[in-house]
Amino acid sequence: MDIARTDIAAEGALGIGLMIAGLVVVALLIGAFVLGARIRRREPPAPRPEEQPRVPEEGPVHEDRENRELDEVPRSKDRLTPHELRAHGNMPSRRSSSQRRRRWDEGRSGSFGSGGQG
């Protein structure tokens, strides 16, 4: 009989423990909601429609696309640092004479593998 009482007591303790854990999770969720509401109250309000950005009078700004001259990285047996590279970083590169976009050759995969049969 004592074993049966012990089993029942263990199941009761487990149930009480799970209920306490559930209450702790609910309390944490409520606390997170209250904290989020406080932080949101301190933020400035969303901009009104008249405060939104406008399209310039000249119309929308478009991206200019142009091809630049290829400039290979110089080969050296010593390691190169960024300031030793020409036309990289803040040094300008030349505009290419041909503005035709380069395309991959037919039957080639481009940058992945050889383009063969897998």
Task: Give the C-alpha separation, 91 to 113, whole Å.
Answer: 33
Instruction: Give the pLDDT confidence of 54-94 residue by residue, as tens digits.
Output: 888 888 877 777 887 776 677 778 887 777 776 555 566 77
- Predicted TM-score (pTM) of this structure: 0.38
Q: Is residue 117 part of a domain?
A: no
Q: Is residue 38 part of a domain?
A: yes
DSSP state letter for 46: P
Cβ 94 vs Cβ 68: under 8 Å: yes
Q: Residue 13 belongs to what domain range?
A: 1-43
Q: Is residue 20 part of a domain?
A: yes
Q: How many domains does the chain have?
A: 1
Q: Is residue 39 part of a domain?
A: yes
Instruction: Give the pLDDT confidence of 25-58 residue by residue, as tens digits.
Output: 999 999 999 999 999 999 998 889 999 888 888 8
